Structure 1
Amino acid sequence: MEWLQPGLDGWGMMRIYARRYAADPMANDTLHTALERWIYLTQFTQALGLREALERHRTSDGRYAGSLYWQLSDVWPTVSWSTVDYYGRWKLAHHAVQQTNKPRCVQRAHGRSTETLFAFNDAPEALESTALQVALLTIEGDTLHAENFPVDVAAFSHQVVELGEAFNTSKGILRWTWSDDAGTNLDEGMHLHAKPAEVDWPDATIETVWKGDSLVLTSDHVALGVRLQLEGVQFDENGFMLFPNEPKTVRFRSTIPENAARDELNVEHFAEYQ
């Protein structure tokens, strides 16, 4: 459907936003088919957009009471903006929406003059004596600055954490880990200060090891937008970032026999499409 102006249909709008935030889906690509390139870059861009929109709503200090997005799923196989396809497979955006809507999580506030994080506890039990570890990293994954912040959050509430001058920058990666008083991980996340399209990402090599109902991934460089694909397997996380030489364990559920077709696992990341 053409709207706004001739030639600006759905494909045109997808290309505009993909080029702005990620890469041109119509650029020459010797590693992927044209369809593979369109699928990855548009789904990657959609995940970025929904994540930021939901973060802006949740960190609005009550100006928004909730969020609705269009649309969840499809009633027939088609190209659409749904986050779950007709066959029940999660797109990257659905993983982003799930992460952003967790009842207990940390999110960065957008549009503030100083770097600020919100620690959310949308649960009936208070969180006391928890620790928020925050680090500012280079694109190569090296630590520029790190601090620990004590966090106490009442039930169904949040705490605002202002990070301070050392974290105020327009470059690099802001990374955090939130743990309770027993050391159990409550949440972890990151924020990229620049658009992915504005960064020259390193060529990362990712190694994988199957361990029971989990997959362990290790990368030699920072890898953004890591996507896992294997027919008949639903991964608990997808579209995430890997940091150099830090193993990440991703659990999965399978509808196929154990070990069947595991050699067909497809692992890719944003730098391969840049």
Structure 2
Amino acid sequence: KSWYRERELNDDSEEFRDFLYLTQVHQAVAVKTETEFYRRAFNVFYSNGEGYTSGALYWQLNSIWPTASWSSIEYGGRWKMLHYYARNFFRPFLISPWRTSGGSVRVTIINDFLMNFENLTLDIEILSYLQLEPLKKVSYDISKVHRKSCLSSYKKTFSFTTPAPSLQKTKKEHVFSLLKLRMELPSINQKVYLFFTAPKFTYIQRAKVKIVNLSKTGKNQFSILLKTDAVALYVWLETDYEGVFSDNGFIMTKKTETIFFKSNSPLSVKNLRKNISVTSLSDTIDDKNIRKPLK
């Protein structure tokens, strides 16, 4: 309740589904936040030679029996939201944005490879919860990121103007940021989001996320086209069929997004279409609390 809003329902089963979804989101975001904090401290050393941790492991990878647990993989092999996030926050080359206690934004670039990278570009977009189009875009050229290092050299204060009356004061409840790192090597390209306050305090809208097309692209492989009419947080795809999505628990800031699903066994488009659901954070919020922050 300190981070997310909860619906007041008379249906216990529906309330339990909300609870399961929110615990998945909370676990994924919490472990991501802590792990990236440890990784950002890789190059921190004191005059006496002591320093911080050089990495992190989380407890635990998989459940050893069917139960509710803090593992990132269920007993049957199904990935929880945390495991999709772990695939990203344990990348050997990672951008990790964070806010200082004073409110400024810092961006740390972590390079665990045994090679240097040159000529990178960091794109930053300031986004509103109330529209899909960015409010502001800025770019920074990064000449070099050294091997086995953490570069933390971006400390910026963002300001912008917009005709939307509700955004004139640019409060943290109105906006969040998207950071994209790009270079000629595609495997390094990535995007991450930085939120300035807890979701329960934001001007979130009701997002109608729908699957508009589902097609087969190969043996046991499927393409899923999603469409939204508003910013959608923590979009979660789920099916009873065992397999892995190309991404899950993601943020939709554009009208469409294509996700791929790899099934562990033969599966038809018809059967998958009948057995797949999509949930986003706004689905767990009462209508009375949409588009206004909680006190």
Structure-2-length-normalised TM-score: 0.78
1:173 alignment partner in structure 2:
176
- The answer on whether the counterparts of 2:180 and 2:192 sit within 8 Å (CA) in structure 1 is yes
Q: In 2 relative to 1, CA 156–112 (structure 1 residues): closer, same or farther, beyond 3 Å?
A: farther
2:139 alignment partner AA: N
Q: Which residue of 1 aligns with 2:134?
A: 143
Shift in Å, 1:85: 1.0
Q: Indicate the larger mover: 207-216 or 194-203.
A: 207-216
Does 1:133 pair with 2:123? yes
1:182 deviates by 6.4
CA contact (8 A) 1:177 1:185 kept: no
Question: How far apart, CA to CA, are the structure 1 residues paired with 2:118 and 2:68?
Answer: 46
Q: What letter matches 2:110 in structure 1?
A: F
Say whether residues 1:153 and 2:145 are aligned partners.
yes
**What is aligned with 2:282?**
271
SS at match of 2:63: coil
Q: Which residue of 2 aligns with 1:192?
A: 195
1:186 offset after TM fit, Å?
A: 1.1
Q: 3-state DSSP class of the match of 2:207? A: coil
Name the amino acid aligned to 2:17.
E
Which residue type is aligned with residue 244 of structure 1?
Answer: K
Residues 66-105 of structure 1 mapped to structure 2, 5 A cutoff: 66-105=55-94
Question: Which one is further off, 112-121 or 68-77?
Answer: 112-121
Q: CA deviation at 1:156?
A: 2.0
1:205: how far off? Answer: 1.6
For residue 292 of structure 2, what is the aligned residue in structure 1?
none
The residue correspondences of 1:19-58 to structure 2 (distance < 5 A) are 19-24=1-6, 27-28=8-9, 33-58=14-39
Counterpart CA distance in 2 for 1:57 and 1:223 is 29
| Distance change in 2, residues 1:32/1:238 (3 Å) | farther
Give the CA deviation at 1:72: 1.5
Alignment: residue pair count: 254
Distance 1:29 1:147 in 2: 47
**Secondary structure at 1:56 match in 2:** helix
Q: Which residue of 2 aligns with 1:237?
A: 247
Give the whole-Å Cα distance in 2 for the aligned partners of 1:185 and 1:154: 14
For residue 108 of structure 2, the aligned residue among 99, 118, 122 is: 118
Could you tell me how far apart the structure 2 residues matched to 1:164 and 1:146 are?
Answer: 13
Q: Output the amino acid matched with 2:24.
A: Q
Give 1:29 deviation, angstroms: 6.1
**Partners in 2 of 1:65 and 1:243 — Cα distance?**
34
Amino acid in structure 2 at the alignment position of 1:92 = M
| CA displacement, residues 183-242 of structure 1 (integer Å, 9 cap, x when unaligned) | 776111111111112224211122332342332322111000100011223112111100
CA separation of 1:33 and 1:237: change in aligned 2, threshold 3 A: same
Q: In terms of mean alpha carbon deviation, does 164-173 or 101-110 score higher?
A: 164-173
Unaligned runs of 5+ in 2: 45-51, 160-169, 286-295
CA shift for structure 1 position 110: 4.0
Give the Å deviation of 1:133.
0.5
Whole-Å separation in 2 of the counterparts to 1:155 and 1:216: 38
Report Cα offsets for 1:61-82 as digits up to 9, x if no partner: 4322111222221111011111
Q: Which structure has the greater CA radius of gyration?
A: 2
Distance 1:135 1:228, change over 3 A: same
Q: Which has the higher contact order (CA 8 A, sep 6+)?
A: 2
Distance 1:215 1:31, change over 3 A: farther
- Percent of pairs with identical residues: 21
TM-aligned CA distance change 1:71 to 1:221, over 3 Å: same
The CA distance in 1 between the partners of 2:40 and 2:172, in whole Å, is 20
Say if 1:226 and 1:32 are closer, same or farther in 2 by CA, change over 3 A: farther
